[in-house]
Every structure is written in structure tokens, then in C-alpha cells.
Amino acid sequence: MEKYGDWFIMALAGTLLLAWLYRSFYRWLHAPVNMNRITLGKGAAVSDGDENVQLLNRNGYKVLSAKHVVPIPVELDDAPLGTGARIYIDYMATKDDLTYIVKTARERKPMDWTASGVRDQLLVYALLLQDCSGILYIDAKSGTIRKIAFHLSD
């Protein structure tokens, strides 16, 4: 009896392993091409004295991290173009179990509050981190927080 029990356990383990391998291969085979997701590192430490962090905290947001830099290599005619490009994310914040990318207002680059102006300046962030619930555009001088969400259709 002990001999058949060992064979049964081995057969069950082999079947589970084959099922897991098949499922993993099937998922990989049918995954969309654009599934390469960017993962952010830890980012810089959050300074509690920062007026932007204080504004977010007063409005119920919890700031997770600050100053993320996402390097993007650029090629032109199959040759690297300089050192590439970088995208800067000022903060990452959460509220009600939703994660947001935070961009701060800059005097040198004011926001054009038209659909095309918002798209031109912020759509790249929504495409870069698709798991986020939106983008918070904050202006500490005026004390405003604007929530932007892009609804992309398939």
C-alpha cells in the first residue's frame, strides 16, 4: 500500500507542476505586447516641512515618496541620442487605497487648462504608470489640488 501512495503523491505533484507550467506559458503567450510595466524605485525621502507635502496631507492624501526619475533611452537612426530623456515625477501619493502621481505647478511652465494642453503635459504620466488612478496637479501657492484622469479606450 505504501508503494502506491508514493506513486500517487508523485503523480499528483507532477500534474500540478505541468498545470502550473501550462498556465504560465499560456499567460505569457497571450499577454499584450505593451505589458512591460515601469516600476518606480523608492524615490527620495519625503520632507514634512515641504509646502507641497503639507498641502497634500491637509487634503487627506498620504505622500509615499518624492522625486522619482524615470530614464528613457532614445535612439535616432539606430544610434543612441545623447544620454536619453528623463521623466520626473514629483511625488507619489495615496488616498482611499488609490494611488496618484503628483506633479507640482512651475512658474516657468504654467499649465494650459484646455483638453489639449492637459493632454500634452500630463498624458505621458498616465501612460507611463497605468496602474495609478490619476494625476494630482498641485499648486502650493494658491493651495489648489486638481485631479486629472485620462480615460483611454481600447
Q: pLDDT tens digit string along 126-142?
A: 888 878 889 999 998 89
Instruction: Supply the pLDDT for residue 145.
Output: 93
Work out the pLDDT band at 33, boundaries 50, 70, 90.
Answer: low
Q: Which long-range contacts (CB under 8 A, 24 or more apart) does 39-46 make?
A: 40/65, 40/68, 40/70, 40/89, 40/92, 40/129, 41/68, 43/67, 43/68, 43/89, 43/92, 44/68, 46/91
Alpha-carbon Rg of the chain, whole angstroms? 23
Domain borders along the chain are 2-31, 36-148
Work out the pLDDT band at 34, boundaries 50, 70, 90.
Answer: low
> How does pLDDT run across 86-145, given as a tens digit for each residue?
888 899 899 998 989 999 998 898 888 999 999 999 998 888 887 888 999 999 889 899
Range with the lowest mean pLDDT among 35-39, 53-57, 81-85? Answer: 35-39
Q: By three-state DSSP, how is residue 121 classified?
A: helix
* 42 within 8 A of 80, measured Cβ to Cβ: no
Provide the greatest CA pair distance for the chain: 81
Name the CATH topology of 36-148: Trna Endonuclease; Chain: A, domain 1 (3.40.1350)
Strand pairing report for 134-139 and 98-104: parallel
How many secondary structure helices (H) and strands (E) does the chain include?
Answer: 3, 7
Model-wide pTM > 0.85: no
Instruction: Supply the pLDDT for residue 146.
Output: 93
